[in-house]
Amino acid sequence: MNAYNRGAYSVERIAHSRALAALFLFLFYPLSAIRYPLNVFAQDIREPNVAGQFYPADKTALSRQIDLLLEKSAPERIGADIFCLISPHAGYDFSGQTAAFGYKLIRNKPYKTVVIIGPSHYYGFSGISVYASGSFRTPLGGLEIDSDFTQKIINPEQKIGFIPEAFDREHSVEVQLPFLQKSLADFKIVPIVTGDCGYQTLRNLSENLIKAIGQRKDVLIVASTDLTHSYDYQETEIIDRINLSYLQKMSPDELYAKLKEGGAQMCGGYPVVAAMLTAKGLGNTGLKVLSYDNSAQVTGKKTKGLWTVGYASAVIVREKSEEVTLLSPTQKKRLLEIARGTIEEYLSSGKRLDFKEEDGRLREISGAFVTLHKHKELRGCIGNIIGQKPLFETVRDMAIESATGDPRFGPVSKEELKDIEIEVSVLSPLKKITHIDEFQLGAHGVLVRRGFAQGVFLPQVATETGWSKEEFLSYLCEHKAGLSPDAWKDPATEIFIFSAQVFSE
């Protein structure tokens, strides 16, 4: 389908031009700073590097150790879903108890993709290495890489590629895996190792992650880091208090600046910055430190001058926002039945069905779009952005409009209907914004308006096109609202955001 046509037509304003299809290709070719092997997506099984060193190589012993660590941890309850863990990566005898505080909070949660970002300790390179495909093995079994996800974030032009040498001896990603295996079920992983990174490279990674995550709530990020190195116990305690203060500020640009000048010390500082940027880009800004420890406290060896390493476990939680109130599976099924039943009846008799709904959520005033696909190609898409009727009536009316009133297509015929797939997008109320930092790619739809000119994109458009914020807004202004590409920069142009719950047959 033409991704940027998605939701571009509304009853408030029907655009008169049909958008062209967009196709974006990732080109894997060498850059001067990093190498990209030709077998970038080759399937392989990566054996563990540090089993028997950082954690037991025996499956039973490893499982028992993690069980005991989780049992002994007593983290404060968090009244929100966790978006990110910040977790240490030393040997389990040293940092395992600290790590367990975070992993205990995600036990049995329905995460399907876990992005683990760790620093490179052994291989020097510039940029970021994403392990593209295959699987990682630990004594507890294999973990498949989410190759669909990795393809969405790899971009060699941004110094984000696949450099296998970055993983050859590395432990920062690996030590998180057994904890994940004991905490979650049925998930895939996205292993990432950072080299020497400029701030823009980390921003690029976070923007790619934001687009890949989109509206998904089943993605967890793990930023793998230890804190202070190379100082004794007394000095480590002082420096780590500063490190923890920078974590709690949730200011990725300030943290990056302090890392570069030495004011903050974390071996996984770049992974933490990338995780913070991603979290903030998706509207998640609540960070809580769960536990702090260091190697001197763990071993009891606090001798002055003895090298000490600091460890912390922290979480970044998903914050409630102006998102649409989620529908239950039964409610979603009912709206799809209403949409299909309405179209069938209207095409047969020209009559608009009158439904009687008792469900309180379906009777709430709400905007919605109905999108029709035929053999995976767009066949119609019209919606009402500002809710004026109960949700079930909005879906009924927009189903008719999408089937018969989209000016880009002729009316759907009765013969076609068996090949039509129906998708419904239920919208949250509009929220006016004053800065594009409030707009989250993949999570928000956008309405731009100046005078009588306006245009709209649904949240899915950003994910499907891969556009940056600037490209998204420029295309919306020019091709959907009939304004200049830079109109979104003009204070006279109003920008509204909304979220959507999208579901289909």
**DSSP of 355-378, one letter per residue?**
-----TTTTSB--EEEEEEETTEE
Domains for the chain: give ranges and CATH numbers.
3-23+324-504 (3.30.700.20), 82-317 (3.40.830.10)
Query: Of 364, 362, 365, 397, which is closest to residue 382 (Cα–Cα)?
Result: 397
Tell me which H or E stretch contains 249.
helix 233-249
Please name the residues in contact with 236: beta carbons below 8 A apart, sequence gap of 6 or more: 227, 228, 294, 296, 308, 309, 310
Query: Does residue 460 contact residue 420 with C-beta atoms inside 8 Å?
Result: no
- Contact (Cβ atoms closer than 8 angstroms) between residue 124 and residue 168: no
What pTM was estimated for this model as a whole?
0.60
Looking at residue 64, its pLDDT comes to 98
Q: What is the pLDDT of residue 65?
A: 98
Tokens standing for residue 81: 């879903």
Per-residue pLDDT of the chain (505 residues; tens, 9 = 90+): 443 344 444 443 333 332 322 222 222 223 333 333 333 444 489 999 999 999 999 999 999 999 999 999 987 777 678 999 999 999 999 999 999 999 999 999 999 999 999 999 999 999 999 999 999 999 999 999 999 999 999 999 999 999 999 999 999 999 999 999 999 999 999 999 999 999 999 999 999 999 999 888 899 999 999 999 888 888 898 899 889 988 988 889 999 999 999 888 999 999 999 999 999 888 787 888 999 999 998 999 887 878 899 999 999 998 654 555 678 889 999 999 999 999 999 999 999 888 888 787 888 878 899 999 999 899 999 988 877 788 999 999 999 999 999 888 999 999 999 999 999 999 888 888 888 888 888 888 899 988 888 888 888 887 777 788 899 999 999 998 999 999 999 999 999 988 888 899 8
**What pLDDT does 132 receive?**
93
